[in-house]
Structure 1
Amino acid sequence: MADFKIISGAWAQLQAEAAPVREQVFIQEQQIAPEDEWDAQDAISQHFIVLDQGRPIAAARLLPNNSIGRVAVLKPYRGQGIGRLLMLEIMRQARLQRREFLKLSSQVHAVQFYAGLGFAVEGAQYLDCGIAHIDMRIKL
């Protein structure tokens, strides 16, 4: 596996790296409307970026309410364990911040990925931006 670097920080610091990843994955690939992708939560979240030789290839955010969101890996990098590295780093930092749990809204196709990290399904499926989702949670 290549030597990937994960950085984290505020939206003001990482927007230039995170926004193109999210634009590619959510707006272009998944056809999510830009007004649904960009919200006020970015300004108050901790953002995480995976870099491959300085190039952003994955992104996610951690909200003050312990919710992980906008987890995105560029298509050419999927299936290489990058999403797992990203999630493990978010979980590590959440533990350092003494958070008691993490939650997320998983697209249904990704449930097994998050379950493999220890997240458990909560509740029933629902549509978000026309895509089937289900809530998941992990106690830290």
Structure 2
Amino acid sequence: MADEDRAACFLVRKEVFVGEQGVPEDIEYDAYDAGAVHVLAVRTEDGQPLGTGRLLFGAAGIAKTGDAAVGSLGRLAVAKAARGLGVGVALVRAIEECAAARGLTAVDLHAQTHALGFYERLGYEVYGPEFLDAGIEHRAMRRALNGH
């Protein structure tokens, strides 16, 4: 990914997580960003960044999921002006395609509790207890990829 695209991903994350949700900026960006696959949705007409997400796999995926065959979807963020347009769905599906292309059998994520319905509609299932991350209630979710 080009440096300007990665900067656009971080800009969307800053807008959503830091600006809207009050996540401290020093914990929004982490060591996993360097090795992650980042996806970016942009408006076709002008290249305006609309949303982003990332996939962790390999050693980073194992650190997050405990399983080398399971990727970790995270930092999914859609700019306020782009919500309701299907950007989030497209980003999740793109991350799943990246995971499948790397031979992963499932994708795991930690969903903010207000977003559980969104992920459930995409085939993710909740497991484990509710927990706090950056002061926000979350639940773990997982979806098996096609053929697994």
* 3-state SS in 2 of match to 1:118: coil
Aligned to 2:72: 67
Residue identity matched to 1:50: A
- The code of the aligned residue for 2:33 comes to D
Partner of 1:133: 138
Aligned length: 131
**In the alignment, which residue of structure 2 is the partner of 1:124?**
129
Provide TM-score, normalisation by structure 1.
Answer: 0.89
Q: 1:1-140 to 2 correspondence within 5 Å?
A: 9=1, 12=3, 14-53=5-44, 54-64=47-57, 65=61, 66-140=71-145
> In the TM superposition, what is the alpha-carbon distance from 1:112 to its structure 2 partner?
0.7
Deviations, residues 72-123 of structure 1 (Å, cap 9, x unaligned) = 0000111111100111111122112211111000000001111111110010
**What are the ranges of 5 or more consecutive residues in structure 1 without an aligned counterpart?**
1-8
3-state DSSP class of the match of 1:134? Answer: strand
Q: How far apart are the structure 2 equivalents of 1:15 and 1:95?
A: 22
Q: Distance in 2 between matches of 1:39 and 1:136?
A: 21
Report the alpha carbon displacement of residue 13 of structure 1 after superposing the two structures with TM.
Answer: 6.1
Q: Partner letter of residue 112 of structure 1?
A: G
Q: CA deviation at 1:14?
A: 3.0
CA distance in 1, matches of 2:95, 2:27: 23
Structure 2 unaligned residues grouped into runs of 5+: 62-70
Q: Distance in 1 between matches of 2:117 and 2:16?
A: 19
Q: d(CA) in 2 for partners of 1:29 and 1:48? A: 21
Mapped partners of 1:26, 1:87: distance in 2: 17
* CA distance in 1: counterparts of 2:129 and 2:102, whole angstroms: 30
Partners of 1:82 and 1:33 in 2: CA distance: 25
SS in 1 for 2:127: strand
The share of aligned pairs that are identical, in percent, is: 38
TM-score by length of 2: 0.84
Name the Cα RMSD after superposition.
1.3
